[in-house]
Amino acid sequence: MSAEQRVAVLHEPERMSVETRPVPAPGPGDVQVAVRAVTVCGSDVHYYDHGRIGGFVMHGPLVLGHETSGVVSAVGEGVDAPAVGTRVAVEPQRNCGRCEQCARGRYHLCPWISFFATPPVDGSFAQYVTVPAGRAHPVPDALSDDAAAMIEPLAVAVHAVGKADVGPGTRVFVSGGGPVGLLCLQVARARGAARVTVSDPVARRREVALAFGADAVVDPGEGVEIEPVDVVLECTGVQAAVDAAVSATAPAATVVLVGTGAQVTLPLDVVQGRELVIKGTFRYAHVYPAAIAMAASGAVRLDEMVTSHHGLDGAVDALLAARRDPDAIKAVVRP
Ligand SMILES: [Zn+2]
Ligand SMILES: [Zn+2]
C-alpha cells in the first residue's frame, strides 16, 4: 500500500479538484477500507451546488461521497472482524456510544454523530477511508461493488418503510420517483404491500417506477384522484407533493416524511380528522444487515439503478449526471 492516496476535494461550490493526501491509518477499533465504488446522492450534488444543506455548512474543503463499498485493507488495534480482504458495505456514521440516544439504540440520533460528507467530516471520494469495525458490513459475492455502495440509500428506505406498518395488503403511496422513491417502492413491495402507487411529475421517472414494480403511477400535475392509502412515503420535501400525499390518505394512515425541505405546512383538519400518524425519519440505524439480505435475495434490484461510471477525475461529471441526462438514476465513482 502506498502511503499516499488520491482524493476529490470540494473547495467551494462548483470548485472541485483531485489532490494527494496521506492514506488514513485505522485507529483502535477501526478498519481501513480500500474504496471500490461510491454512488452519488442528491445531498452530494446539493453541497457541490450550494456548499450547504440547511444548517450543515461547509467552512473549509470537504470530500463528498457517503454511499460506499470496498475491501478491508487494514485493521486497527483490537479488531478481529471483519478481516483484511473482506468485501464490505460502509455504514458512514460514527457515534459517541455514551450518550442517552446511543444507550437507547438510536445511535443515528447521537448529538455527537459524525457522518461522511457532512461538514466538517470528509466522505469517500477517496481511495481509502476508515470507519469503526462494526460499521463495515460484510457483503456476499452476490452483491456487486456498485450494489454494495447502494446499501446506504437502501438503508434509508428500509428505515423509512420500517417507520410504517407495511405488510401484506398495505396500500402504499410513494411521493417522488427519484432514487430514494424507487428504493422505498422496492422495499414496500418486498414487504408485501398490496398496491404501490408512485407519483412524479417527470414522465420518464414514472416509466422507471413502473419498471421497478409500481402498480400505478400518477402525474401530480394532472390532479388525478388517488384511491386512499394506508401508508404514504413522502420522498420530495416539496409542499405540493406533501399536499397531494396527505390528501391521498385513508383514515388512520401513516405519513412518513423522508424527503428533506426547508419547511412545509400540513392541513391540521385532515391530520386530525383522519387521525393521521406523521413520522419524521433521519438516516437509519441497525438496518444494514437487513438491507444487505434484501439486496442479496434479489427482492430489491440495485444494479439496474446504476446508469454511469466515472473515475475520481470524473467526480464532477458523476455529480452532474442526473442533471445532464434525463435517463440517469445513479452515477458511480470508482476511485
Ligand atoms: Zn445519500
Ligand atoms: Zn451518542
Q: How far is the CA of 108 from the centre of ligand 2 (A)?
A: 8
Q: Which ligand is nearest to the CA of 97?
A: 2
Q: Which ligand is nearest to the CA of 100?
A: 2
What is the predicted pLDDT for the residue at 2?
57
Q: Which ligand is nearest to the CA of 103?
A: 2
Q: How far is the CA of 324 from the centre of ligand 2 (A)?
A: 40
SS3 state at 85: coil
pLDDT digits (tens, 9 = 90+) for 7-26: 999 999 999 999 999 999 99
pTM over 0.85: yes
DSSP secondary structure string for all residues of 24-60: PPP-TTEEEEEEEEEE--HHHHHHHHHSEETTEE--S
Integer Cα distance of 187 and 295 in angstroms: 10
C-alpha pair distances (Å), 231 with each of 73, 247, 317: 42, 12, 36
Residue ranges in the chain modelled with pLDDT below 70: 1-2
∠ at Cα 290 (322, 177), nearest 5°? 25
SS3 state at 64: coil
Q: How far is the CA of 99 from the centre of ligand 1 (A)?
A: 25
Give 88's strand partners: 70, 138
Cβ proximity of 125 and 61 under 8 Å: no
Q: How far is the CA of 42 from the centre of ligand 1 (A)?
A: 7
pLDDT digits (tens, 9 = 90+) for 157-168: 999 999 999 999
Q: How far is the CA of 113 from the centre of ligand 2 (A)?
A: 7
